[in-house]
Structure 1
Amino acid sequence: MFEKEIYVHRRRELSSKFSSGVLLFLGNIENPINFEHNTYPFRQDSSFLYYFGIKSPKLATVVDIDAGETLLFGDEMTIDDIVWMGQQQTLREKAQWVGIAAIRPFHELQPYLEKVLKNSNQVRYLPPYQAHNKLLLQHVLGLSIDQIKPSVEMIQAVVTQRNIKATEEIAELEKAVDVAVDMHRLAIKMTRPGMHEYEISNAIQHLAQNRQMSFSYPPIVTKHGEILHNHIQYHKIKAGDILLNDSGVETALGYASDLTRSFPVGKRFNPLQEELYAVVLNAFKTAEAALKPGVAFKNIHLKACEALAEGLIQIGFMKGNAQDAVAAHAHALFFQCGLGHMLGLDVHDMEDLGEQYVGYTADEPKDTKTFGIKSLRLGKKLEAGNVVTVEPGIYIIPELTQMWAQQNLHHEFINYDLLNKHLDFGGIRIEDNYVIKDSGYHRLGKYLERELNEIYDLKDQGTD
């Protein structure tokens, strides 16, 4: 946990945005894999962690604006719990660590909220994403599933606060990136022909766990980098393949990293792979250089897309004018997703609260229809204190390419004759993490090699 005063300050700042009512926060529960007592690893809700810091399951808190107090609803360990898990820090002790004095049994949550509602006070809550919490809201508030309506006002207040990372949060994010950098260096050095993808994935997981961290999301370690979220890891890799490693970790306090590198399985890329890697790296540097407060991330995304299109025109996969191609969204055949997203307590920070609130504004809403741009999770103007990822890529997806070719789509910008000869290329992505500063940006954590000669030097340090 952070210092007590940090959590107290966060709650006080949130409370100041409301004149009355209560703010209800539901913690997560342990979810069963295949029967009740065989559960997935527990992960607390991120907004609950942000304001209350307690990682125990089956908790709820109420911030009572009118009474000026915070109440924690939960239960102490029973003797059966102690028999199976041993005596642990009590709930009261945990509450004291984060500045909460009022603790009540969990079963008192419903009558407490009934009294609030009876007095015509408003109960605000965030969008529930666990099925248990949807059912719990129905129970404690007397609602049907169709009547669950999260508070937009509360969502916006939480997003505004969590959007700006404090010094102690940046320090945690730096820790997460540093470990991820070591993971990626290990992957590059150890990868060689004849291995399987899962061997690399297992090795970086072992490194993370030895640093007392866990993956912040299921890692993507694959020779099929054209599949954007490919979690299949059974392929045997050979010289000539590109391995894409998209992986990160989260610290004990829940802060995440999210890095990607693409590198040859053998010692070197082939000439076409080198050319396309250089195109992605140039787009990456173009986006990186544009990071600063006041600039819309959507515009940075489009700059990166133009850089990709220019490079693809030089190679011959595209033709015409790069700006015109991007305006027509023809580049989306090669870059189907967005340039990046917010990063923090979630690898896609606050995604549970809604992209329209986290990544966009009412004045500049998200485009939910245009292929490519509809997958951009962040579009609004950057502010000092935002933490973002930058991750351009080139992905040659055979099924998508063949569909566009059959439809003769964007034929004025795409050289299908040449592209169809390279449908087995795969994908390349490069990704780093940044905090926006008053004067520009700061790349988080240790430097992770990205230039071709740097990648090759790491390959040469590996074992044969």
Structure 2
Amino acid sequence: MFPSKTYIERRYQLKKTLKSGLVIFPGNAESPMNYADNWYPFMQDSSFLYYTGINGIPNLYFLIDIDNDRDILFGNDATPEEMVWTGAAAPMADLAAKSGITSVKVVNELEAYVRQKKQKGQQIHYLSPYRADTKIRLAELLGIKLAEVDKNKSVNLIKAIVAQREIKSDEELVEIEKAVNTTVAMHTHAIKNTRPGRTELQIAGELQSIAIGGGGNIAFPIILTKNGQYLHVHATQNTLSEGDLVLCDCGAENAMGYTGDMTRTFPAGKKFNALQRNVYDIVLNAHNSAVAALKPGVHYKDLHLLAAKKLVEGLTDMGMMKGNADDAVAAGAHTLFFQCGLGHMMGLDIHDMENLGEHYVGYTPDLKKSTEFGLKSLRLGKALKENFVVTVEPGLYFNPFLIDAWRAEGKYTDFVNYDELEKMKNFGGIRVEEDFAITASGSRLLGKPLAKTPEAIEELKNS
């Protein structure tokens, strides 16, 4: 945990913004895999974690009673019988004290407390739940129908949290960088230990052990595949062969819940072939161009479009696209190859605060989220600010199903050379991703440098 003053100040700022009401933060419960006592690794709700720092303990509630200036942790101390299974557990009062919370109540007092505040007409603030069990618990707690839970979420609370969490403190940047450095170690291992004859899952398992050894776990299921043409394919029993390109997108979550997220694409064998290197250089140029333009005040959507233009220019040089690059991007022709967004915010969530709603986190009332294919997948569009943490991850994905479908439809024939694309339908995909903190005048790469050029990747691979 950070020092208690960090959480006290965060809660003070939230109270100052909201001014009145009762804020309810349900912590997460355990989530069973296949029966009640066989759980997935526990992950605390990130907003609960942000305002309390209490991690690893399920079935807690945290309430901020703004009108009465009270912060209350609701949770039950572990019983001796429970500690037979779990070992010693700190009392709730000790956990609360570390967070600067002076009031602790048992969970069965929660409903009466909330009911009393509702009867007095106090406004209730809560976030829209992303877990079904949390939604059910909130409906019961508030005495409302399940269908009304999302409808009655507090937009003011969402906006207040976004305004706080999007700006990372120096303390947070230290923790994020720890997670990124563990992520760098994962990628270094992947590049050095991938070779023909090994399976994707063998390598992915080794990467997860590095994440766990770093004090936390993986931040999301590891994407490690020779089928990089598909955006989110997780590791399988596929055996790697000479000539395969391997796309590895993975990240570590550290002990305090902060995350890293990086991607490298590299050959299964010792070297890229000529075609792979040419396509890789296109993606790397788009990546470097977007990174060079990172600074406060720049709209991230414009960086996405800049990267898309660089991808189109490179594909045009290779004969796979034609015409004016700006026109191609404006028409959306690049989305045949680049179907996702350039990147996203990162912090306590790998897609930071995505559960609060991308239109609140990544956009503004004046900048609406697109509904167009490709651009609708851009999670962040608004102007960057100092101490934002963002990923930059352009890619080229040669999806044979999309190529065949769009060719049959006659889409973008003014910009796409479909005949030339036939040889690329078994190519795969390439993505390059790094994490950056926005500074006063530009950006700063987070974590230790990791091989990024084809030459550096080959050198690391064969060292």
Q: Please, what TM-score do these two structures have when normalized by structure 1?
A: 0.98
The DSSP-based 3-state class of the residue aligned with 1:103 is strand
Matched length: 460
Alignment check: 8 A CA contact 2:200 2:237 kept: yes
Distance between the aligned counterparts of 2:389 and 2:450, measured in 1? 18
The DSSP-based 3-state class of the residue aligned with 2:78 is coil
Corresponding residue for residue 204 of structure 2: 201
Distance between the aligned counterparts of 2:198 and 2:235, measured in 1? 15
The one-letter code of the counterpart of 2:293 is A
The one-letter code of the counterpart of 1:410 is Y
The DSSP-based 3-state class of the residue aligned with 2:241 is coil
Return structure 1 stretches of 4+ with deviation > 3 angstroms: none
1:55-105 deviations in Å (ceiling 9; x for gaps): 211011110111111011111111211222122211110000001111111
> Which stretch shifts more, 299-308 or 106-115?
106-115
Distance between the aligned counterparts of 2:205 and 2:112, measured in 1? 48
> Which stretch shifts more, 201-210 or 233-242?
201-210
> Which stretch shifts more, 410-419 or 204-213?
204-213
The DSSP-based 3-state class of the residue aligned with 2:25 is strand
Alignment check: 8 A CA contact 2:18 2:160 kept: no
1:437-463 deviations in Å (ceiling 9; x for gaps): 1111001010011011101101211xx
Q: Does 1:210 align with 2:222?
A: no
1:126-167 deviations in Å (ceiling 9; x for gaps): 111111111111111110012112100000000100000000
Give the CA deviation at 1:272. Answer: 0.9
> Which stretch shifts more, 102-111 or 330-339?
102-111
Distance between the aligned counterparts of 1:162 and 1:103, measured in 2? 25
Distance between the aligned counterparts of 1:213 and 1:30, measured in 2? 17
Corresponding residue for residue 430 of structure 1: 432
Corresponding residue for residue 230 of structure 1: 233
Q: Does 1:128 align with 2:129?
A: yes
For 1:44-83, list aligned pairs within 5 A. 44-55=44-55, 56-83=57-84
Q: Does 1:28 align with 2:35?
A: no
For 1:65-464, list aligned pairs within 5 A. 65-148=66-149, 149-368=152-371, 370-461=372-463
Distance between the aligned counterparts of 2:185 and 2:423, measured in 1? 37
The DSSP-based 3-state class of the residue aligned with 2:17 is coil
Give the CA deviation at 1:209. Answer: 2.1
Distance between the aligned counterparts of 1:175 and 1:87, measured in 2? 28
The DSSP-based 3-state class of the residue aligned with 1:81 is helix
Distance between the aligned counterparts of 1:99 and 1:4, measured in 2? 5
The DSSP-based 3-state class of the residue aligned with 1:17 is helix
Distance between the aligned counterparts of 1:18 and 1:278, measured in 2? 49
Give the CA deviation at 1:232. Answer: 3.8
Corresponding residue for residue 16 of structure 2: 16
The DSSP-based 3-state class of the residue aligned with 1:438 is coil
**Pairwise CA RMSD:** 0.8
The DSSP-based 3-state class of the residue aligned with 1:384 is coil
1:305-356 deviations in Å (ceiling 9; x for gaps): 0000000000011011111100000000000000000000000000110000
Distance between the aligned counterparts of 1:446 and 1:392, measured in 2? 20
Structure 1: unaligned runs, 5 residues or longer: none
The one-letter code of the counterpart of 2:103 is A
Give the CA deviation at 1:207. Answer: 2.1
Distance between the aligned counterparts of 1:19 and 1:280, measured in 2? 47
Distance between the aligned counterparts of 1:21 and 1:258, measured in 2? 36
Identity over aligned residues, as a percent?
48
The one-letter code of the counterpart of 2:202 is E
Distance between the aligned counterparts of 1:59 and 1:284, measured in 2? 42
> Which stretch shifts more, 13-22 or 399-408?
13-22
Distance between the aligned counterparts of 2:193 and 2:32, measured in 1? 35
Alignment check: 8 A CA contact 2:320 2:416 kept: yes
Distance between the aligned counterparts of 1:44 and 1:151, measured in 2? 21
Q: Please, what TM-score do these two structures have when normalized by structure 2?
A: 0.98
Give the CA deviation at 1:266. Answer: 1.0
Give the CA deviation at 1:211. Answer: 2.3
The one-letter code of the counterpart of 1:409 is K
The one-letter code of the counterpart of 1:234 is Q
1:258-308 deviations in Å (ceiling 9; x for gaps): 000000111111111111000000000010001000000000000000000
Distance between the aligned counterparts of 1:307 and 1:131, measured in 2? 42
The DSSP-based 3-state class of the residue aligned with 1:268 is coil
The one-letter code of the counterpart of 1:266 is G
Distance between the aligned counterparts of 2:66 and 2:277, measured in 1? 59
Structure 2: unaligned runs, 5 residues or longer: none
Give the CA deviation at 1:212. Answer: 2.0
Give the CA deviation at 1:17. Answer: 0.7
The one-letter code of the counterpart of 1:416 is Y
Distance between the aligned counterparts of 1:100 and 1:133, measured in 2? 23
